[in-house]
Structure 1
């Protein structure tokens, strides 16, 4: 009963701090530090210890691409990159609080089954990267999984080639992998609640040096394979 109460308290605390950060963001133009602060607190409340391998680059324009295991991947990247923004599926907009937070972070939402939405997002991404020297992170798999078997989408690779924008690849690994993976029939609130019960999780992000893409298809296959191997 004690552990259940502690888990519930942690879950409520996480949402309270997210709400507080959203409120504070109304009074600040630059919410980069707020984003990073919230991400670090989120990881702390879930007892996630972040280990970084390699050097994340902070100069844009830059596209960051890697594997996707859980929604916790996003605060992991935010804890490394204060000015990072994300590409996300449109369903995230409907998530409680998380959706509103995503909008505040200048997330680009894409309707996965809409050709028009993907075309508009492609133009928006290219313009934002070039004009704002932005750092944009995305998960080309389009969904979460423990072991990626579906080939990566090529859209961001094509943007990188057409606009000569470097890409920094990353791979994420967790201890307690199945517990933290957001897959199958998991629902957000129950999954988050169960995560708060785990005493310690080690999350490792490895960053490769930025590269220039020449062939979208070949490169997507090569780097997806790289993200699935442990160093």
Structure 2
């Protein structure tokens, strides 16, 4: 049954991905920033529906005005999950840009790529994040710097929190949990040496998949805020939510 489900979903997902790439090439140049965000949000919801992934939103996400969402990182799916809640500009490692197909899609979704090997990479990323804040956007950040199985949370890198501190925009911790029939599902994570094809085989052949997004109370930086302290507070809140749910 899993094989049949995988084949059926794969056909629809491929068609949906092609439609997204064509939209980027032919339609996006004609749209305003606001309408691009609407298209990306609708497309992300369609993608997850075709993949058989339900999104459960808990808490009160920032729906308006600029902000920084900081979440634990489990899979390539995370970007599209958060886009279902509110279209988001993401910060991701530059090597994701080179992933087959997915790299094109996350770039289309408004991802800001950072090359951590460059000397001034963090400074440049903060400048781009500030530009997003000035447009009224929410920016998504995965400060672990890598994916995990979703059962624990690695320490948060603090560098990019500086943009929120300087702009005095709210920082909202977000805990992501991948579930299958209501239970934690580490097999859905995209970690280690697993290939994208192998991950899709598990995801598209599975029933009862849901991603729980728990939006925790925002933290508003003030004149005394330090990025390291802010990152530590967010990490503690996300870790507690992931482990206690």
**TM-score w.r.t. structure 2 length?**
0.85
**Contact kept in structure 2, 1:182 and 1:191, CA below 8 Å:** yes
The alignment of Structure 1 onto Structure 2 pairs a total of residues equal to 228
Please list every run of 5 or more consecutive structure 2 residues that lacks an aligned counterpart in the other structure.
none
C-alpha distance in 1, partners of 2:168/2:44?
30
C-alpha distance in 2, partners of 1:87/1:34?
20
Using CA pairs under 8 Å that are at least 6 residues apart, name the structure with larger relative contact order, 1 or 2: 1
- Give the 4+ runs in structure 1 shifted more than 4 A: none
Tell me whether 105-114 or 148-157 shows the greater mean CA deviation.
Answer: 148-157
Matched, 1:169 2:173: yes
- Residue 27 of structure 1 is matched in structure 2 by 27
**Contact kept in structure 1, 2:41 and 2:83, CA below 8 Å:** yes
- Residue 121 of structure 2 is matched in structure 1 by 117
**Contact kept in structure 2, 1:64 and 1:137, CA below 8 Å:** yes
- Residue 11 of structure 1 is matched in structure 2 by 10
Q: 1:63 aligns to what SS in structure 2? A: strand
The structure-2 alpha-carbon separation of the partners of 1:149 and 1:48, relative to structure 1 and needing over 3 Å to count, comes to closer
Q: CA RMSD in A?
A: 1.8
Tell me whether 108-117 or 21-30 shows the greater mean CA deviation.
Answer: 21-30
Matched, 1:215 2:218: no
C-alpha distance in 1, partners of 2:123/2:152?
25
Question: Once the 2 structures are TM-superposed, how far is the Cα of residue 148 of structure 1 from its aligned partner?
Answer: 4.5
- Residue 64 of structure 2 is matched in structure 1 by 59
- Residue 151 of structure 1 is matched in structure 2 by 155
C-alpha distance in 1, partners of 2:109/2:50?
21
Matched, 1:227 2:238: yes
Output aligned runs, 1:129-140, within 5 Å: 129-130=133-134, 132-140=135-143
- Residue 107 of structure 1 is matched in structure 2 by 111
- Residue 44 of structure 2 is matched in structure 1 by 39
Matched, 1:85 2:89: yes
Q: 1:76 aligns to what SS in structure 2? A: helix
C-alpha distance in 2, partners of 1:103/1:48?
21
